[in-house]
Amino acid sequence: MKIELQRIKVRDLIEGYEDNDELGVRACGGKLDVRPPYQREFVYKDKQRDAVLETLRRDFPLNVMYWAVIDEPGDDGVEYEIIDGQQRTISICQYVEGDFSIEIDGHQLAFHNLQSDQQDQILDYELMVYLCEGTDSEKLDWFKTINIAGEKLTDQELRNAVYHGPWVTAAKKYFSKNGCPAYGIASDYMSGTPIRQDYLETAIEWLNDGKIDEYMAAHQHDKNANELWLYFKGVIDWVETTFPKKRAPMKSVKWGPLHKQFKDGSYDPADLELRIAELMGDVDVKNKRGIYEFVLGGEVETKLLEVRVFDERTKLAAYEKQTKQAEDAGVSNCPMCASGTNNNATRIYSYGEMDADHVTAWSKHGPTNLGNCEMLCVPHNRSKGNR
């Protein structure tokens, strides 16, 4: 890759700045593509954005940027696309355009509030830009190496770069913008943020059983992302219909696999809600997000709920009580052994040879407390199951 250093004034950078959802982000009189297909969305926080402007205002050096030279026959003049520096470029352009203000001497001042000499100081600031010429693969490798603003790229941001094309562009309109359609319908049921590609990654993962790269490779040159969007919308519609009451634990549920497994079942949302409310209020249920799969699956897999187990103090108290009663009666301190006729009917087990069990199973509303705790020898505890 050929690299040449140039100085670009801010006033030249901001010329013709435009941020258009359909056409992308352009600057430098339309010659600079600020957000090429492999770039991430704008992710700077206010503090980071403001620091860029403070750097310019104080005439401190700003980290160098990298632009790729685009050599396409027939173009009127040289065009560029940003490899590294998108976040800083947008911060600068947005400020000069009047999109936000920064604190100066205790006051919030937009660009138009500055004195003319203060404006000129920013506009005449010279950015250090490396112009890079090379193949698409070289530019992409360079992009992945330098990591914008020192923030590590997410896996999905890298996938967007590797498989960039019309499909990624179309998919990002649904899944990757602040206030995008996916966020609008699913923010109560999903964690993560669209701009860091969490929604897009999750949707593909659900649709293609976790094989994200495989799906993106197969659809890289598709003209639209309708299949993914309609699938995703169908999943969320099913969730909203089946579980109309929204709760915080829903954000951690993997709805795609549940939709695939249970979408054809017949469920009464009102009945489900009564049971969910009961389980949400049960202090013995540690994994609240597992409640949804538990009720859909017929309440068989109690391990989904990570039901609270007896603590050591409770188990030791139950062991001491049972052992004393057993020794006084001349029987085993394992109730199930004591009721038998084999050689273990009078055996006194050590604490380490026993484990705690619910007298009345938790699934039958037995509480996890001393009154419902019994110590069984390990073989009998394992054989008892959920009876």
204-249 pLDDT, tens digit per residue, is 999 999 999 999 999 999 999 999 999 999 999 999 999 999 999 9
Q: What is the phi/psi pair of residue 239, to 5°?
A: -60, -45
262 class by beta-carbon count within 10 Å (0-12 exposed, 13-18 middle, 19+ buried): middle
Maximum Cα–Cα distance across the chain: 101
| Low pLDDT (below 50) residues in the chain | 73-74, 148-149
Question: Can you give the C-alpha Rg of the chain in angstroms?
Answer: 31
For the chain, give every domain's residue range: 1-153, 154-265, 312-384
DSSP 346: G
The pLDDT value recorded for residue 362 is 83
Cut 0.85: pTM above it = no
**Are the CB atoms for 43 and 195 separated by under 8 Å?**
yes
**Are the CB atoms for 373 and 310 separated by under 8 Å?**
yes
| Nearest-angstrom CA–CA distance, 106 and 104 | 5
The pLDDT value recorded for residue 86 is 87
The pLDDT value recorded for residue 2 is 79
